[in-house]
Structure 1
Amino acid sequence: MEQAAKGNEQIDLAKSDSHSIGVPIEFVIIHRNLSKKGGSHRDHLERDSLLPVTVLYINSRGSKEEEKSQESDPSSGELHCWMECFRWQYLIIVAVMVVGKEVGGFPEEDLVARLPGQPKVGFAQYAGYVDIDVKTGRSLFYYFAEADGDADEKPLTLWLNGGPGCSSIGGGAFTELGPFFPRGDGRGLRINKKSWNKVSNLLFVESPAGVGWSYSNSTSDYNSGDESTGHYIPQLANVLLDYNHHSSGFMFKIKGIAVRSVAISRPIGNPLLKLDRDIPATYEYFWSHGMISDEIGLRIMSECDFEDYTFSGAHNMSKSCNEAIEEANTVVGDYINAYDVILDVCYPSIVEQELRLRKYVTKMSVGIDVCMSYERRFYFNLPEVQQALHANGTKLPYRWSMCSGVLNYSDADGDINILPLLARIVKNKIPIWVFSGDQDSVVPLLGSRTLVRELAHDLQFGVTVPYSVWFYKGQVGGWVTEYGKLLTFATVRGAAHMVPYAQPARALRLFTSFVHGHRLPNSTYPPID
């Protein structure tokens, strides 16, 4: 029986109901995946992912690569062992129950009156800590943004960034889908007109301890085996299914799962699902988009054997293969943002100097502020911002950063094939959406699309929506296909790894359809809202 403490209060999940804890029991799970880049592909992949309560979303994937530039068989039946391995995911659910969706579910002292430099808004915000383990002094930091209008009638979305070790506050909340973005001078905020709090209450949790302002007094809590966001969401959904299976009282009603950038599902957005397909897809993307030469591309395709590829194990790669991969990563990494290949880059030395001089550092590329990550880091390290958010009361011995430098991660989880977990979820009649931005070279749609089709084949699902365009305001929003009325794969045109950041309007359209249980519009006529 799981318990969580908040002050002197405890919640007993087995005896609670949705009214007493102020949280809807229906869940939709969303996830986003990131990978990191470097010399080897293991270094080249970055991490970030999202999960969906009436909608639960968790986005788990922040950018380790970005932070480095800024600063110096689970379905096998071995239930007890597997649940212990991913025990932190239980703690997240406990945190959700304690935090709650309704205003009455939040401690009054966690109310955020107003953030420094914040425009006036009509919705409430809460932020603070949830004590997960009082004995070890483990506490997770959360930020909650109420839905902008009719909050009591709208679902709750839980977003977690993965990485692993990357902040959902810095990523999802203040860079992608939350109500505010950092201002160009790093000392204030501006409104995100396409925030997902238009259709849902939003909850962001920095997890595990050691990420962002979340902390533990036990060093053992800084060792984790969790890998990427494409894994967090399906694993969490399966933990909920296991809990329901063994519970005679309180149960979770999971309404859907969304994953981005899959290595697997979501809306799972651009998730990391299966390495032996996702890894070669990156280099196929490089070559097909003219980012590497024919010579390098052909060497990788002919010399590299990605069968049974793992992050941690020895790779049966030839010297020629390794040299070609290193050359490809160097050529691409030196000149572009691999997470969004059409955006310009932001130069840190210039930006950081301008921020100190109180200048606006915003650099626009295709309508996007490519320097937002630097503005964000500057803002969150202002003492007045931390005070307003009730953050860092223990005075952590390090500055806030997007991705943690204190966590020690094992690669084992990243090697897991997530497809069996997704199959189990679908067999429980829970819809899964997987979505990918088509400008992401880190976890390209090539691998995700292939894996979704493979999953549909394994489930013996027929095509219920043929692969075709979907529209937003009379223009192509992307492409979509559906299998067995339960499994959807969608692309977002012009979007990259962080879909809401690169294409906010199309991302909101996709999210709205998912939340309402509607298919994406396939007419050139804009839907009547």
Structure 2
Amino acid sequence: MSPRPFSMVATILFVVAQIFVTAISVSEDDKISSLPGQPPVKFQQYAGYITVDDKQQRALFYYFAEAEVDPASKPLVLWLNGGPGCSSLGAGAFVEHGPFKPTENGLVKNDYSWNKEANMLYLESPAGVGFSYSANKSFYRFIDDEITVKDSLVFLQRWFNKFPQYKNNDFFITGESYGGHYVPQLAQLIVQTKTPFNLKGIAIGNPLLEFNTDFNSRGEYFWSHGLISDLAYESLTTTCNYSQIRREAQSGSLTPACAGVGKLLSSEIGKFVDTYDVTADVCLSTIDQQSLVLSQLQETQKIDVCEEDKTHNYLNRKDVQQALHAKLVGLSTWSVCSDVVKYDMQNLEIPTIPILGKLVESGLRVLVYSGDQDSVIPLIGSRALVNALAKEIRFKTTMPYRAWFEGKQVAGWTQVYGDILSYATIRGAAHEAPFSQPERSLVLFKAFVEGKPLPEFSSS
């Protein structure tokens, strides 16, 4: 006898319920009760591993901070730091825009955390970065963009299986620096494979989009900011430019001409100016390493120039690693940028600006933004690339270049093309814009995920 319709429906509902309960119980295994030294908060946090290659036992580590209020209705945002080979946990979450900031004694609340506006998912990628690992150590010697992006897609597919309640939330992919490769390539793969994520757009800060344009804009940036002489600038334009210097140094075949220009630049800029934020002070305890995280004076608040040092110390505490469900596999120390990943640096020369064009043509919103104190990937190149892209795909300017505001102060400048492709600067911000200008970066982020224009001046 065939079962009655009611029994069939009940059976199906029971199976679905069991799947849902299993998924929730799996996610509960990754739930963080509290991080050591953490102030009390009402939102939930999760951290743990997603295996992306069962055979090779390759697993990526994530940290997830739910939105402070009403996470079910807020967008889900994946954040990817650059490098290649640097940590989204250590840089993105704990130095830039996560819910907490490290101190000598523990953590303090970040007043400008991005989880005020979204559910924030930080991924340490590729394997070999931070707490992410591969049991097969030979993997570390052959990493490139294709492998990294494919692993990230597998991660997302399996992460959504753990957290099915977020499958219908608006989804955005964000990042900075070499994230200019990871972010658009991952978005393109999602579109090409028709993976059923509710992807709405991408945002990338100070991104590497086109090797020659981005690197050669450094010379003009240094000269215009008074960091190098007329002679040095002339040498960059006539003898050996920055892309040549980087290309030759990378291949281990630096010519005498380029070596001479490089030596001149080093002598003029010196080691007490960090190229990631040309107006900032340096953390003297890490001056030899030229810390990527530097200071910026914002109103009366002094940004901690040694934030990265404190993050390093905090994430190497055993009680912190235990709370995060993290482990060190084949390593003795967590570091913000990997010592084991041997990335194929030829990937730096893969242009990703054409991918942005394909993404906006597919209907995804794309934001490129620049901290205007960064000379590593200066606004000069990024702005020119976005403007040229808009002309190439015949997107007309729908919002002319104008200032945008945080409160009553100019926070940067912006231009919008076709109501879907936009460029913005963040005034006074470094390579890691949310670290050096947290309040302005939060305003920009909020406008982006809400699909609204950046604010104009308001007298009220």
TM-score calculated relative to the size of structure 1: 0.71
Deviates more, 1:129-138 or 1:172-181: 129-138
**Secondary structure at the counterpart of residue 189 of structure 2:** helix
How many angstroms does 1:317 deviate by? 8.7
Kindly indicate whether the alpha-carbon contact (under 8 Å) linking 2:85 and 2:341 is maintained by their aligned counterparts in 1.
yes
Q: Does 1:424 align with 2:354?
A: no
Residue 453 (structure 1) shift: 0.7
Specify the alignment match of 2:166 in structure 1: none
Letter of the structure 2 residue corresponding to residue 210 of structure 1: G
Task: Give the aligned partner of residue 369 of structure 1.
Answer: 304
1:433 has 2:367 as partner = yes
Distance 1:171 1:364, change over 3 A: closer
How far the C-alpha of 1:134 sits from its partner, in A, is: 2.3
Report the 3-state secondary structure (helix = DSSP H, G, I; strand = E; otherwise coil) of the residue aligned with 2:72: helix
More helix by share: 2
| Mapping 1:334-373, distance limit 5 Å | 334-348=271-285, 366=297, 367-373=302-308
Asked if residue 272 in structure 1 is aligned to residue 222 in structure 2, the reply is no
Matched, 1:294 2:230: yes
1:6-63: per-residue Cα shift (whole Å, max 9, x none)? Answer: xxxxxxxxxxx9xx789xxxxxxxxxxxxxxxxxxxxxxxxxxxxxxxxxxxxxxxxx
What one-letter code is carried by the residue in structure 1 that aligns with 2:239?
E
Question: What is the rounded CA distance, in whole Å, between the counterparts of 1:415 and 1:363 in structure 2?
Answer: 27
Which residue type is aligned with residue 334 of structure 1? K
Q: Matched residue of 1:130: which SS?
A: strand
Deviations 1:342-382 (A, max 9, x none): 21111127999xxxxxxxxx997511100011111111111
Contact 1:304 1:317 in 2 (8 A): no
* Structure 2: gaps (5+ residues): 1-15, 149-177
Aligned partners of 2:37 and 2:106 also within 8 Å? yes
Equivalence for 1:224: 143
In structure 2, the residue matched to 1:445 is 379
**Per-residue deviation at 1:136?**
1.4
The 1:474–1:282 alpha-carbon spacing in structure 2 relative to 1, beyond 3 Å, is: same
Superposed CA deviations along residues 135-191 of structure 1, whole A, max 9, x for unmatched, are 2111111111111011111111111212111111001010001000101x1x40011
| Counterpart in the other structure of 2:340 | 406
1:318–1:215 Cα change, 3 Å: closer
CA gap of 1:317–1:216, structure 2 versus 1, over 3 A, is: closer
Give the count of matched residue pairs. Answer: 403
User: Which one-letter code corresponds to 2:144 in the other structure?
Assistant: G
Tell me, in whole angstroms, the C-alpha distance in 1 between the residues paired with 2:315 and 2:437: 24
CA distance in 2, matches of 1:224, 1:442: 23
1:243 aligns with 2:211: no
Equivalent-residue separation in structure 2 for 1:105 and 1:308 (angstroms): 53
Q: Distance in 1 between matches of 2:287 and 2:361?
A: 52
Residues 253 and 113 of structure 1: CA distance in aligned 2, closer, same or farther (over 3 Å): closer
State the superposition RMSD in angstroms: 2.8
1:178 partner amino acid: G
Measured after TM superposition, the shift of residue 525 of structure 1 is 3.6
- Secondary structure at the counterpart of residue 413 of structure 2: strand
Q: How does 1:188-227 map to 2 (within 5 A)?
A: 188-222=106-140, 223-226=142-145
- Which residue in 2 is equivalent to 1:53? none
* Aligned position for 1:146: 66
Residues 292-343 of structure 1: CA distance to partner in whole angstroms, max 9, x if unpaired?
1111112212223578998478799974444123321443251212111121
CA 1:164–1:347: 2 relative to 1, 3 Å: same
Deviation track 1:68-102 (CA, whole Å, cap 9, x = no partner) reads xxxxxxxxxxxxxxxxxxxxxxxxxxxxxx9x9xx
Q: How many Å apart are 1:450 and its aligned residue? A: 0.5
CA contact (8 A) 1:473 1:525 kept: no
Separation of aligned partners in 2, 1:496 and 1:115:
28
Measured in 2, the distance between the counterparts of 1:373 and 1:436 equals 21
Q: In the aligned structure 2, how far is the partner of 1:427 from the partner of 1:365? A: 37
Match of 1:159 in 2: 79
The residue number in structure 1 matching 2:326 is 391
CA distance in structure 2 between the partners assigned to 1:485 and 1:316 by the alignment: 45
Instruction: Answer whether contact 2:407 2:457 (CA < 8 A) is retained.
Output: no
Matched, 1:282 2:227: no
Q: Does 1:509 align with 2:443?
A: yes
How far, CA to CA, are the matches of 2:106 and 2:242 in structure 1? Answer: 46
Aligned pairs for 1:21-32 within 5 A? none
Structure 1 contact 351–371 (Cα < 8 Å) conserved: no
State how far apart, in whole Å, the 2-side matches of 1:277 and 1:396 are.
Answer: 38
Match of residue 257 from structure 1: 202
Deviation at 1:107, TM superposition (A): 2.4
- The whole-number CA distance in structure 2 between the counterparts of 1:337 and 1:203 is 29
Residue 242 of structure 1 aligns to which amino acid in structure 2?
Answer: Q
User: Do the aligned partners of residues 371 and 307 (structure 1) sit closer, same or farther apart at CA in structure 2, a change above 3 Å counting?
Assistant: closer
The residue type paired with residue 315 of structure 2 is F
> Quick check: 1:332 aligned with 2:252?
no
Assess if the C-alpha contact under 8 Å between 1:480 and 1:489 holds in 2.
yes
C-alpha separation between the residues in 2 aligned to 1:113 and 1:207? 25
Q: Structure 1: which 5+ residue stretches go unaligned?
A: 1-16, 23-97, 245-249, 260-268, 353-361
User: What SS does structure 2 have at the residue aligned with 1:324?
Assistant: helix
- In the TM superposition, residue 523 of structure 1 has moved relative to its aligned partner by 2.6
The residue number in structure 1 matching 2:169 is none
Q: Distance in 2 between matches of 1:377 and 1:480?
A: 35
| Counterpart check, 1:137 vs 2:72 | no
User: Which has the greater radius of gyration?
Assistant: 2
Distance 2:131 2:242 in 1: 38
Distance across 2 between alignment mates of 1:368 and 1:297: 32
Distance change (3 Å), C-alpha of 1:308 and 1:401: closer
- TM-score normalized by the length of structure 2: 0.82
Give the direction of change, closer, same or farther, for the CA distance of 1:454–1:365 in structure 2 (3 Å limit): closer
Determine helix, strand or coil for the equivalent of 2:260.
helix
Q: Retained in 2: the 8 A contact 1:311–1:415? A: no
C-alpha displacement at 1:515, in angstroms?
Answer: 0.5
> CA contact under 8 A between 2:236 and 2:242: conserved in structure 1?
no
Q: Any conservation in 2 of the 1:363–1:370 contact (CA below 8 Å)? A: yes
CA separation of 1:450/1:318 partners in 2, compared to 1, >3 Å: closer, same or farther? farther
Deviations 1:236-273 (A, max 9, x none): 111011101xxxxx6233211111xxxxxxxxx00011
**Conserved 8 A contact 1:469-1:478:** yes
| Partners of 1:254 and 1:458 in 2: CA distance | 24
2:218–2:242 contact (8 Å) kept in structure 1: no
Q: Do the aligned residues in 2 keep the contact of 1:177 with 1:196 (CA within 8 Å)?
A: yes
Distance (Å, rounded) in 2 between the aligned partners of 1:218 and 1:315: 28
Q: Which residue of structure 1 aligns with residue 43 of structure 2?
A: 123
Checking the alignment, whether the CA contact within 8 Å between 1:311 and 1:414 is kept in structure 2 is no
Q: Percent identity?
A: 45
Structural mapping, 1:29-44, within 5 Å:
none
1:110 maps to which of 1, 8, 30: 30
